[in-house]
Amino acid sequence: MAGGKMKKEKPQRGGAASSNPHYQGGISFHKSKGQHILKNPLLIDTIIQKAGIKSTDAILEIGPGTGNLTKKLLEAGKSVVAVEIDPRMVLELQRRFQGSPLSSRLKGIGAFGITIEIPEVDDLLAHNNNLSQRTEARVIQGDVLKCDLPYFDICVANIPYQISSPLTFKLLFHRPLFRCAVIMFQREFAMRLVAQPGDTLYCRLSVNTQLMARVFHLLKVGRNNFRPPPKVDSSVVRIEPRKLIDSFPYKDWGGLIRICFNRKNKTLGSIFKQKSVLSLLEKNYKTLKALRLSQKESSGDTDMAVALSALRDTGEDLSMEIDDDDYDDEDMGVEEHDARGSEFKNKVLGVLKKGDFEDKRSSKLTQADFMHLLSLFNEAGIHFA
């Protein structure tokens, strides 16, 4: 979770420190790492209850911080693997759980099992490079975006907001499939994840995430539940990943959705008349045609990870999507395709016409609409990747 503005301050002692929202137990919280600690025990209980954790569950927690959520996760599940980037927090977790009534269970994997392993400083690099081999580690010190995730049934986390998008897609690509992830996000990001056609926040992130998962908004969380309070509100979301379908053209889908949401409130007719779009599609079209002619047509995406990478790059959704109301066609760089390309342009517009998509806008289209549109383009030999 991120978004709160904090001034850099030196640690204080005594009463002053205990009332300072940027410190707790001698630890200063760093904005750069999105350190906003959950301080409301009732909220933590609600998250645990809504997560539907089973006593047999292996739980993944991302960013345990000082362990407020970790403690409840340990009580609810079979085991917890936590990934924490800040060595000070890892030490704090060790201190907290070794000194607690759970201490006898800290070294074993049991109902409350947690093993905290703190690598030697000069061993850190090797540790981070070999996380998958260090299966005994239960608190992994490292960047969750860079490490191999262990097996887990459920992920429950109050994350740093700045990694929301890459983390969401890392989880969606994670295999074997897990049951669900229950994650605290910045409210706006959460609303984008669950947005439906016609909602203001409906965007590429919504469409791509919902292709790969069922997503539910669980809980609104006010900023005063955190220490220090961030500048934005939060929401807890439940993500249930779907099985990937081998035959689905994920790469093509990613390309189509990227183009459609470049200006989501413009008509598709207007978007697909853009010179840059037509040039890209024509290039793909000619390349594929040449490949077919030389009988070297690819038999499809054998590497699903490569195919899915077209969906992954949605990190800019919060900042880069353009509100069309402020733009006219000149701003969009709409230019008539030159004469050589007019035949291809007619082909593209013919596809839109066939599906009655010319006057439709991406902001109102459902997953099924996009799938229909993609199949019409593909039937015409037009591909997006």
68 binds ligand SAM (CB under 6 A): yes
Give the separation between CA 22 and CA 167, rounded to whole angstroms. 25
Closest separation in Å from C-beta 40 to ligand SAM: 10
Whether 75 and 100 have beta carbons less than 8 Å apart is answered as: no
33 binds ligand SAM (CB under 6 A): yes
Closest separation in Å from C-beta 182 to ligand SAM: 12
- The one segment of 142-150, 235-243, 330-338, 373-381 that binds ligand SAM by CB under 6 A: 142-150
Q: What own/partner pairs with CB < 8 Å and gap ≥ 24 does 91-98 have?
A: 91/118, 92/25, 92/27, 92/65, 92/66, 92/67, 93/64, 93/66, 93/67, 93/139, 94/118, 94/139, 96/66, 96/67, 96/71, 97/67, 97/70, 97/71
Q: Which residues of 220-236 are buried (b: 16+ CB within 10 A; e: fewer)?
A: ebebebbbbebebbbbb
154 binds ligand SAM (CB under 6 A): no
Q: Which position among 123, 143, 297, 338 is part of the footprint of ligand SAM (CB under 6 A)?
A: 143
Q: Which position among 69, 137, 171, 281 is part of the footprint of ligand SAM (CB under 6 A)?
A: 69
Closest separation in Å from C-beta 7 to ligand SAM: 18
Q: How does DSSP assign 265-301, residue by residue?
A: TSBHHHHTT-HHHHHHHHHHHHHHHHHHHTT------
Which of 143, 329 has the CB closer to ligand SAM? 143
- The one segment of 95-103, 153-161, 169-177, 235-243 that binds ligand SAM by CB under 6 A: 153-161
Any known ligand binding at 38? yes
Q: Which position among 27, 154, 163, 203 is part of the footprint of ligand SAM (CB under 6 A)?
A: 163
Any known ligand binding at 303? no
85 binds ligand SAM (CB under 6 A): yes
Q: Residue 29: left (phi > 0), alpha (psi -120 to 50), or beta?
A: beta
- The one segment of 57-65, 97-105, 208-216, 342-350 that binds ligand SAM by CB under 6 A: 57-65
38 binds ligand SAM (CB under 6 A): yes
Rounded to the nearest 5°, which phi and psi values hold at 66? -85, 0
Q: Please tell me the chain's helix, strand, coil percentages from 3-state DSSP, rounded to the nearest 5.
A: 45, 15, 40
Give the separation between CA 123 and CA 118, rounded to whole angstroms. 10
Whether 163 and 144 have beta carbons less than 8 Å apart is answered as: yes
34 binds ligand SAM (CB under 6 A): yes
Q: Which position among 4, 65, 241, 249 is part of the footprint of ligand SAM (CB under 6 A)?
A: 65
Question: Could you tell me which residues come within 8 angstroms of residue 290 by beta carbon, excluding any fewer than 6 positions away?
Answer: none
164 binds ligand SAM (CB under 6 A): no
Which of 92, 153 has the CB closer to ligand SAM? 92
Which of 163, 311 has the CB closer to ligand SAM? 163
- The one segment of 60-68, 266-274, 303-311, 321-329 that binds ligand SAM by CB under 6 A: 60-68
Question: Could you tell me which residues come within 8 angstroms of residue 179 by beta carbon, excluding any fewer than 6 positions away?
Answer: 57, 153, 154, 240
Which of 62, 268 has the CB closer to ligand SAM? 62
Any known ligand binding at 36? yes
Closest separation in Å from C-beta 315 to ligand SAM: 14
Give the separation between CA 189 and CA 331, rounded to whole angstroms. 27
Whether 116 and 67 have beta carbons less than 8 Å apart is answered as: no
Any known ligand binding at 30? no
Q: Is 124 exposed, middle or buried (0-12, 13-18, 19+ CB in 10 A)?
A: middle
Q: What is the DSSP letter of 113?
A: B
Closest separation in Å from C-beta 3 to ligand SAM: 10
Which of 84, 301 has the CB closer to ligand SAM? 84
Q: Which position among 4, 113, 160, 228 is part of the footprint of ligand SAM (CB under 6 A)?
A: 160
Closest separation in Å from C-beta 226 to ligand SAM: 7
145 binds ligand SAM (CB under 6 A): yes
Amino acid at position 87, single letter = P
Annotated binding site: 36, 38, 63, 84, 143, 158
Report the interface residues with ligand SAM, using CB under 6 A: 1, 33-38, 62-65, 68-69, 83-86, 89, 143-145, 158-160, 163
